[in-house]
Amino acid sequence: MNHVPDEHVLVVPRDLFDRMGAFQGFCGDTAAYLPLLLDPTQTSWRPRASVEEDRSFKQLIPYCLLTWRDADGRRHYFAYTRGGGQGEARLRAKRSLGIGGHISSTDGGHGDDTSYEAGMQRELAEEIAVEGAWTGRCVGLINDDSNPVGSVHLGIVHLLALERPAVSARESGLVDCGFEPLETLLADRARFETWSQITLDALASGLLDEPMA
């Protein structure tokens, strides 16, 4: 998630999210939110330095979960620890499931779904290398207003089903990477950042619609 000092990121007004129906935790109803969240008449590009502390905006963040099914049909999920080189200082030393980051104005000037998709693909390519085929879909959103990081971000969750578990980190800030079954991840839930805790709970409750691979 490299960024320059003058980086402008994609945001929506917090009151738009409130009008659509603000929630805490995970929501799987993407159809109720995404059309407006990625409507260029609602989005804008704002200096990242200013919106990181401005609760009147929500920064839109793709949050990609990588999953692989073994020969027995058991699902495993990609997890890693955020090392010292990771861009978001408030999340360092935490375990995480999600790959992704801010959508930058360099990803496309319109602030629409095309800009969003370009930014998501860029973030994936910057952070990890995936060998083999994969399929994916958007499965929900994450909101967590219980802490300063979550209060200024809104996660858009994508589930990527990999043909095989061949993923390596391209960023030095991603360490201890690998695939683990859900029950192992749940046993270590306390060490994960809050979005990942919300995701683990949603997975455990069967709320995520997994793409088949």
> Residues near 70 by Cβ (< 8 Å), separated by ≥ 6?
76
Compute the radius of gyration of the chain from its Cα atoms.
Answer: 16
pLDDT digits (tens, 9 = 90+) for 155-191: 999 999 999 999 999 998 899 999 999 999 999 999 9
- The residue count of the chain comes to 213
Q: How many helices (H) and strands (E) does the chain have?
A: 6, 11
pLDDT tens per residue, the chain (213 residues)?
455 558 999 999 999 999 999 999 999 999 999 999 999 999 999 999 999 999 999 999 999 999 999 999 999 999 999 875 445 555 458 999 999 999 999 998 888 999 999 999 999 999 999 999 999 999 999 999 999 999 999 999 999 999 999 999 999 889 999 999 999 999 999 999 999 999 999 999 998 855 444
Domains of the chain (ranges plus CATH)?
8-203 (3.90.79.10)
Query: Is the backbone of residue 100 left (phi > 0), alpha (psi -120 to 50) or beta?
Result: left
45 neighbors 111 (Cβ within 8 angstroms): yes
pLDDT of residue 173: 87
Sole residue written with tokens 């085929």 = 133
Model confidence, pTM: 0.91
Cα four-point dihedral sign 6, 115, 158, 72:
negative
pLDDT of residue 84: 56
pLDDT digits (tens, 9 = 90+) for 6-24: 899 999 999 999 999 999 9
Q: How far is CA 109 from the centre of its chain?
A: 21
